[in-house]
Structure 1
Amino acid sequence: MIVTNPGSRGRYAKSAAVRQRALEACVDAFGISGFYGATMKDVAARAGISYTGLLHHFPTKETLLLAVLEYRDSKGTQVYFEASSSIEDTPANAVRAMLEVAVQNETEPGLIALHSTLSSEATTPDHPAYEYFQSRYRALRQFYTGIFQVLASRGESNSTMSPEALAITFIALLDGLQVQWLYEQDRMHMRAVIADFLEMVIPKE
């Protein structure tokens, strides 16, 4: 029989909770000030933990940045995989499913601010998140291009744009809407705008 130490489980749970608080605080700090503007001490203060405690979980600001980007991605990973698996069978539904990722983020404006701030700040090759966003946009372009190619081959697309150009436009729409939403959250309705755009491209079934 294996005997576990109840105290170790408690310490693990506490450690996981502290890490989660740090990531949530980082979303706010990086979303407001960017990677270079925010400090580790600021993140620690927002999380309500000591600076030493933060360093225990994230030794450098770079490791914290990568962790918070992974945390952000985890919010939409399930929807992404479900949409990917249905591209060949129901490509139109796959596009509409991805709409939910953007809409879900409306409940967490900090995540939208994080993406908008860091994706703009990280355009220089020496930024620690440069390769992350470069790879992310490549993957998104490939994903949406594949969807729009299938739609075009089936005669289910109303657009005269090439699948790749349409994918680039769609991603730009998503990013641009999120920025505008941050300024006027009470007036901007991302779901409605994206839905209208999709209706121009994909006819209703």
Structure 2
Amino acid sequence: MCPAFQRHCFFEGNTSEAELAEFVGDHVSPGFEARRPREGEAINSFYDDKLAFPISHFEVGLRLPLWPEIRQILKYYGAVPAQLNPNVIAMMVAFASFLRRELIEFNLTVFRKLFSYKATPDDVTYFMGLMIKVREIANKHHNWMTKIAFIKGDLGNIPFSPQQKAEEVYRPLTVSGNDSDLHKFFLHKGFEVAFL
């Protein structure tokens, strides 16, 4: 577990009924349910069958059901969506989108080589990487923790609470063989994804 994340006093969600209805209409697929936070619930409240998602994550490309690439990244790092700011989600979606467009199979080793995983003292996490440029995100989601929805449905066995990961997760990787070729491909091919 990440006790700092659980101790941290995030803003309590103040999602209105109208905002929830708009969110459900735009982003919640059949088979999923969403509800507003109840009194006293915050972005770091956890349940066995529901997970908190900042609504802003869906504004930068996150979709339900979660893409396999996104689930794999979340499971590997033991991160929950509430730990990740919208720019992190945008990078993950952009990387997966680019691979899909180029018909390249997702590769977690190369993702780890291109992006370094960092955590702030309160265990809000982010990725550092120079290979993805995402347009039209800027800093408009500076209050991303205040609008949340609890979602129930097939979330692909991603963690329901942050997991403490072993030290080797954060160590720099070496790549070889096909992984090395794919890594070189990205080093020589910057790309840009625009979210409309």
Structure-2-length-normalised TM-score: 0.31
Select the structure that is richer in strand: 2
Larger RCO (alpha carbons 8 Å, 6+ apart): 2
Which is higher, the Rg of structure 1 or of structure 2?
A: 1
Select the structure that is richer in helix: 1
